[in-house]
Structure 1
Amino acid sequence: MTMIAYPPKPSPGDRVAVISPSSGLPGLFPLPHELGLRRLRDEFGLEPVEYPATRTMDSTPAARAADVHAAFADPSIKAVIASIGGDDQITVLPLLDRELIRANPKPFFGLSDNTNLLAYLRNTGIVAYHGVSVMVELGRPGAMHPQTADSLRAALFTSGPYELRPAERFNDVDRDWADPATFDREPPSRPGSGWSWVNADRVVEGRTWGGCLEILGWLLMADREIARDPAEYDGGVLLLETSEELPSAEEVFRTLRNMGERGLLGRFSALLMARPKTWSFACPNSPEEGARYAAEQREAVLRAMRVYAPEATIVFDVDFGHTDPQVVIPYGGTVRVDGPARRVTVTY
């Protein structure tokens, strides 16, 4: 059984690494990136330090692995934050020095393709943090969402319990990062519908694993960063979210089915399923089309869980995925899912 510990926290005034272990999109879209860097300085009191591949598109896996190593090895760096996600971080994993990283534990923040590093760090014995990238959440037009900012501040600087709450309003429609006018005002939002609970007659407290469903499917196919002993996940809390690529309900079901066939799905006592993103530039759904997409995804999840984990407590529409606001979830850390009280509490 892997022993997992929370790494030391940064303090205001500390230096934090900003890296691009997936994609060098800051080089193509500097506006949200530089806005995110300013907010790290001005609103969180941290000094961001960029690494060579941060703004380099098509950098090699070796170059990105070198940035990861440099960030963790530098004793003056107190946390590591991903600029954005991407789609090929899995090629970086075999190049990482696990002993170097284990000897220099630091909080790492990221999501989406950064599911790779989150799973890697958990297997290395380090609690990481699912959520918040420099370009998206820190670089949000107009202002950071207060719910995101409060969660990030708590995860960065405090230890102990933090109660998550449903977003009263949310957004999942993007605007053009290349257009300066995008950043003149906050994005529009629409009313949230709260969380939906299934099997909410119990209290589950356990360590988390999961992340972006598409990336988990890739890790399963490549047989990387999945615990060799499935008992590692017994009684845990599974985190799942889907990306802006809007995977079909059938793809969601098949991925979960295959996790079930591998003996993973039934190990978890609870599932937190993030509010799905339902709009993208490639698929600009109307609100009605988006609602239908979300309903179909929920039924796909339920269809798989009924077969492989029928007793698990499920909470739908938790705000930790590709939608706005976004709360931070400790990855490998402890989450308490209290069904009777309808409360979710994370431990930062």
Structure 2
Amino acid sequence: MTPPACPAKPSAGDRIAVVSPSAGLPGLFPRPYELGLERLRKEYGLEPVEYPATRTMDSTPRERADDLHAAFADPDIKAVVASIGGDDQITVLPLLDRELIRANPKPFFGMSDNTNLLAYLYNTGIVGYYGASVMVELGRPGAMHPQTAESLRAALLTTGAYELKPAEHWTDVHRDWADPATFDGEPETRPGTGWTWLNAGRVVEGRSWGGCLDIVGGLLMADREISHDLSVYEGGVLFLETSEELPSGEEVFRTLRAMGERGLLQRFSALLMGRPKAWSFEHPNSPEEAARYAADQREAVLRATRAYTPGITIVFDVDFGHTDPQLVIPYGGTVRVDGPARRITVTY
């Protein structure tokens, strides 16, 4: 497999597509969406262009695929950004025109359910970017987290190496978008706890693959966008994180076990585990409950890696995915995990 190419980045004044490949939640919660669009204009100098299904709840997979085709095919559009995630983007994948997208490569930014499209782009030969949805990170109440804003600026507008840094302060608690008071100030955060390294005696540099573990599990079950030629993942850097659905430690273990039984898990030389989101509106865990949840997830990861890939370099609590701040991870790009120096460098 030819290594994916990095599409050219937009410049100030360029038009970028804003699409909803999963769910048209901007139609239900316009405030964080409009705030995100405003920041794209004022803080990043870009002109967002909305597509027909972007604010449409219950749009069909065909309508969402049409929006993606239009965004990639338009030569005036220089990047594509997801409004938010959802839960059925896997139904859009069979409707996509791979040759059209391959012929019109553009940077795509999204996370969570957008793991589907990022895995698709990986197999299409295009580097994508895991992170930075319009409603969540760009539409954060009060202000963007400074580490999110800096990482997104580097990934969206520049090329080259970028060193990830542990969060100085973070949160996984989100307030109700339907409550206007939510937008009166920034979320409360707590001091950062750093990253935890395991088997850190070497340097690993390779292409990245992964995303939201819930969605990776769906791709495994559907046998979709995971190459049968597992050599394409050899020596790569796997990055995984879990969503607001708060999968149990046992669920995490079973998905990793399935990856191991397929022979996929063993192909990677390093694993970056995102800081677990341990709070949701359905499960408003106390700090003690959240700590137990995170510990259970870590033990599940260790059980699976001990069984299938002992010795793999692991970094826990890396700040990407469903917690805040959110560092952008290239999908199919180069990631360098320097164990002795305790440094993670990505190439945007």
TM-score range, shorter chain: over 0.9
| Corresponding residue for residue 129 of structure 1 | 129
For 1:6, give the aligned amino acid: C
Distance in 1 separating the partners of 2:153 and 2:174: 24
What's the % identity of the aligned pairs? Answer: 81
Q: Runs ≥4 in structure 1, deviation > 6 angstroms?
A: none
| Corresponding residue for residue 277 of structure 1 | 277
| Corresponding residue for residue 193 of structure 2 | 193
Distance in 2 separating the partners of 1:309 and 1:31: 45
Shift of 1:50: 0.5
Does structure 2 conserve the Cα–Cα contact (< 8 Å) formed by 1:127 and 1:331?
Answer: yes
| Deviation per residue, 1:211-242 (Å, 9 max, x gap) | 00010000010000001200100000001000
| Corresponding residue for residue 147 of structure 1 | 147
TM-score, length of structure 1 as denominator length: 0.99
Which SS does the other structure have where 1:322 is aligned? coil
Where do 1:147-186 residues align within 5 Å? 147-186=147-186
For 1:142, give the aligned amino acid: G
Shift of 1:181: 1.1
Distance in 1 separating the partners of 2:250 and 2:228: 28
| Corresponding residue for residue 264 of structure 1 | 264
The gaps in structure 1 that reach 5 residues or longer are: none
Distance in 2 separating the partners of 1:24 and 1:305: 37
For 1:315, give the aligned amino acid: V
2:244 aligned with 1:244:
yes
| Corresponding residue for residue 331 of structure 1 | 331
| Deviation per residue, 1:287-322 (Å, 9 max, x gap) | 110011000000000110011111210000000110
| Corresponding residue for residue 226 of structure 1 | 226
Which SS does the other structure have where 1:175 is aligned? coil
For 1:272, give the aligned amino acid: L
Shift of 1:102: 0.3
| Corresponding residue for residue 289 of structure 1 | 289
Shift of 1:158: 1.0
The gaps in structure 2 that reach 5 residues or longer are: none
For 2:239, give the aligned amino acid: L
Distance in 1 separating the partners of 2:306 and 2:169: 30
| Corresponding residue for residue 3 of structure 1 | 3
| Corresponding residue for residue 317 of structure 1 | 317
Distance in 2 separating the partners of 1:274 and 1:263: 22
| Deviation per residue, 1:40-75 (Å, 9 max, x gap) | 000000000000000000000000000000000000
| Deviation per residue, 1:63-117 (Å, 9 max, x gap) | 0000000000000000000000000000000000000000000000000000000
| Corresponding residue for residue 72 of structure 2 | 72
Does structure 2 conserve the Cα–Cα contact (< 8 Å) formed by 1:166 and 1:319?
Answer: yes
For 1:328, give the aligned amino acid: V
Distance in 2 separating the partners of 1:186 and 1:38: 17
| Corresponding residue for residue 301 of structure 1 | 301
Does structure 2 conserve the Cα–Cα contact (< 8 Å) formed by 1:2 and 1:123?
Answer: no
Which SS does the other structure have where 1:256 is aligned? helix
Does structure 2 conserve the Cα–Cα contact (< 8 Å) formed by 1:203 and 1:338?
Answer: yes
Does structure 2 conserve the Cα–Cα contact (< 8 Å) formed by 1:199 and 1:313?
Answer: yes
Distance in 1 separating the partners of 2:342 and 2:77: 38
| Deviation per residue, 1:151-205 (Å, 9 max, x gap) | 0000011111000000011001110101111111000001121000000000000
Distance in 2 separating the partners of 1:287 and 1:321: 20
Distance in 1 separating the partners of 2:121 and 2:47: 23
Does structure 2 conserve the Cα–Cα contact (< 8 Å) formed by 1:270 and 1:314?
Answer: yes
Distance in 1 separating the partners of 2:336 and 2:287: 32
For 2:298, give the aligned amino acid: R
Does structure 2 conserve the Cα–Cα contact (< 8 Å) formed by 1:5 and 1:127?
Answer: yes
Which SS does the other structure have where 2:67 is aligned? helix
TM-score, length of structure 2 as denominator length: 0.99
Which SS does the other structure have where 1:243 is aligned? coil
Where do 1:35-46 residues align within 5 Å? 35-46=35-46
Distance in 1 separating the partners of 2:168 and 2:287: 17
Does structure 2 conserve the Cα–Cα contact (< 8 Å) formed by 1:152 and 1:328?
Answer: yes
Give the stretch that moved more between structures: 29-38 or 176-185: 176-185
Does structure 2 conserve the Cα–Cα contact (< 8 Å) formed by 1:2 and 1:232?
Answer: no
| Deviation per residue, 1:311-346 (Å, 9 max, x gap) | 210000000110000010100000000000000000
Distance in 1 separating the partners of 2:196 and 2:168: 14
Distance in 1 separating the partners of 2:45 and 2:321: 26
Shift of 1:272: 0.4
Which SS does the other structure have where 2:62 is aligned? helix
